A and B are shown apart, each in its own frame.
Chain A
Amino acid sequence: MAKPQSTPVERAARLLDLVPFISTHQGISLTDLAQEFSLTESELLSDLNTLWMCGLPGYTPLELIDLDFESGYVSIRNAEVLQRVRLLTKQELVIILLGLDILGNSLAADRKDLQEGISQLISRIKKIVGNIATAMPIVDSSHRATISQALKSRKDLIIKYHSTIRDTLTERTITPLEISLDHGFEVLHAYCQSAAGFRTFRLENMKSVLISTSSVATPEMTELSEIESGFEWDLLIKSRFRTSSERFRAVYQARDSVVAERITVSSFSQDWLLRNAISTLASVEVLTPVSARALIAEKCRQSLELYETWGFPK
């Protein structure tokens, strides 16, 4: 968790938290302590040196906190007043509440034991902060854990994947490479053994994730950008600016006028662009490429044919 330079107040808070932590971890190495508090060793030493000057009024050796860290291992005495673990701030309680809700809502039904533990903690926290935060996860916590384990142990995964672009559910064997974010959604970059190529999978669309017992060699990773570019379309958005931009995952900003706006969108999947174009027929016009316009017209005709000539009763 990288963090910017701390303010004097943030530092004071950290010093207050260092005391109980060292008290329950007497003899911890400077390295481990720095890691726990996400500090460099020199930042930690500066913290310890400051703490060493603190204590009860009087500030004689009798009243000062007694810290020993010259050996590279840290121990603390004479800090009884600060020994209690500090209370969680409301902000901290809320983020824990949200984390617990995400965890609880993605547990399998067979983990009743945990479900109960989570509900109890949630109600204890809500008593303090109120019912002010809830979260429904879109990704199953155990799926993410399985993927992390596979990445660590370099194992393949067998996933059931719902491709929303293809509108299909398929089972694939994949070699996971890296989890990252795409437009705020978690995706797994992987080599898909089934498709024999590099693919990106959205975690929320994985219906099941299992570690494979066999492992297949993966070709060298090609440049990700190579697979990610692809198709570029020019659009004219005429109405429903916000929704239409969101559909095409285009960045949007406040604008002064409400006249039509020309934007460029891109995707590795022409099919996805095509579906979005048909979906937004009423508010968006695809300007180029011309081939795309022909494809959209063709799709419209196919649907109309079903409506007009087939035996679909009304």
Chain B
Amino acid sequence: MSRKTERLVNLTIALLATKRYITKSEIFRTVDGYEGADDSKERMFERDKDDLRNLGIEIEVGTFDPLFEDESGYRIKPENYQFQLGEVNAQEIALLSLAAEAWRGASMAPSALSALNKLHAIGIESDTELLLNFAPAIVSQDGNLAVAISAITSKTVLSFSYLSETLQRESRALEAYAVTSRYGHWYIFGNDLDRKALRVFRLDRISGDLKLQGRSGSYEIPSDVDVDSAFSKPSGLLKATLFLRDGRGLNLRNRGLELNGGKAPVGWQEYELEYRDHERFVEEVLWYGSDVIVSRPQALRDEIISHLKSGVVKYG
């Protein structure tokens, strides 16, 4: 039952302890757990190497003497095995722990737990004042987030079906570059292989599971990739001027700029706002009912009026 576990630990110890490369036949002879016919030992060893690599443990392959075609040997360099963030102080341990704790109960809790175990194993007491005053939390329950992250770290193409505005499934293949959380939703950003362009996808609009497709390391992430730029204001934003009733339209007030031209009736203020998606903005203005009135542009004003008239006809 635990033979596999034991063998992986023993292999790690043997490869870590050795100063020189050790050959496969030495491994089979000395490391506990390699049994059976030669080819089954071979298969066992190949699987074990992959398993360790998936744990982030890099096994180096080399030869004893580059001049001779010796049987290749294996080792794990201690510097490639150990905690790679260098020296950390009490405050840093607290910050790193808080960051991992943020995932408590979320979709990636197992990774967070093992990260915490490692941080605690460093043996530095963390700054507990910090732990009390901040409680960052990430609440995603979406299993696709873990797949997206592993696709990015392993540079493996993702395939999935994405739900369009009409709720039709659209097949997508993506070289994922980054994930980001905004407005309470998770997004993947990358190179859409079908559309041949950079695209952003909202994770909860993906229908079914994200799938890894093909080999790892099949693309490069451009060094200047900037996921934030995909969300920053593009040029050619649309502009509108709105009248907001006293103390109403709080979100619009926060986003907009108050105009002090004196055109607003008593009990109202005039605000200028920028927006990107026309249909969404129309819906947003309508949401506030009679607390928000469009002043300019005329086309937007007419559109709102026509929706309201159709409402009276439909419901009246």
Residues in A lying within 8 Å of B, measured CB to CB:
1-3, 8-17, 20-21, 23-25, 36-38, 46, 50-51, 53-59, 81-82, 84-92, 94-100, 102-103, 106-107, 114, 117-118, 121, 124-125, 128-139, 141-142, 144-145, 148-149, 162, 164, 167-169, 181, 184-186, 204, 239-243, 245, 247, 252-255, 258, 275-276, 278-282, 285-286, 293-294, 296-297, 299-307, 310-314
B279 is an interface residue with CB less than 8 A from chain A: yes
Contact among A128, A162, A204, A297 for B184, CB-based, below 8 A: A204
Task: Give every chain B residue within 8 A of A254 (Cβ-Cβ).
Answer: 161, 163, 167-169, 207
B74 is an interface residue with CB less than 8 A from chain A: no
**Interface pick from B38-46, B62-70, B95-103, B192-200:** B95-103
Contact across chains for A91 and B118 when beta carbons are under 8 A apart: no
CA A11 to CA B164, docked complex, whole Å:
41
Contact across chains for A9 and B287 when beta carbons are under 8 A apart: no
Contact across chains for B265 and A145 when beta carbons are under 8 A apart: no
Main secondary structure of the interface of B (DSSP, over half): helix
Contact across chains for B102 and A99 when beta carbons are under 8 A apart: yes
Q: Considering only CB atoms, which chain A residue lies closest to B140 in the complex?
A: A184
Name 30 interchain pairs, CB-CB below 8 A, sorted by A.
A9-B55, A14-B114, A16-B55, A17-B118, A21-B121, A37-B117, A50-B5, A57-B32, A81-B13, A84-B83, A89-B111, A89-B114, A91-B153, A95-B149, A99-B99, A107-B134, A131-B227, A133-B149, A134-B181, A138-B184, A141-B134, A242-B166, A254-B163, A254-B207, A278-B287, A280-B286, A282-B282, A296-B315, A300-B308, A305-B290
CA A313 to CA B118, docked complex, whole Å:
65
CA A301 to CA B291, docked complex, whole Å:
13
Contact across chains for A88 and B84 when beta carbons are under 8 A apart: yes
Contact across chains for A314 and B122 when beta carbons are under 8 A apart: no
B37 is an interface residue with CB less than 8 A from chain A: no
Contact across chains for B111 and A92 when beta carbons are under 8 A apart: yes
Task: Give every chain B residue within 8 A of A96 (Cβ-Cβ).
Answer: 96, 99-100, 115
Main secondary structure of the interface of A (DSSP, over half): helix
Number of B interface residues in the complex (CB < 8 A): 131
In chain B, positions 254-310 with a C-beta closer than 8 Å to chain A are 263, 265, 279-280, 282-284, 286-291, 293, 295-296, 298, 301, 304-305, 307-310
Task: Give every chain A residue within 8 A of B263 (Cβ-Cβ).
Answer: 313
Task: Give every chain B residue within 8 A of A58 (Cβ-Cβ).
Answer: 30
CA A66 to CA B249, docked complex, whole Å:
68
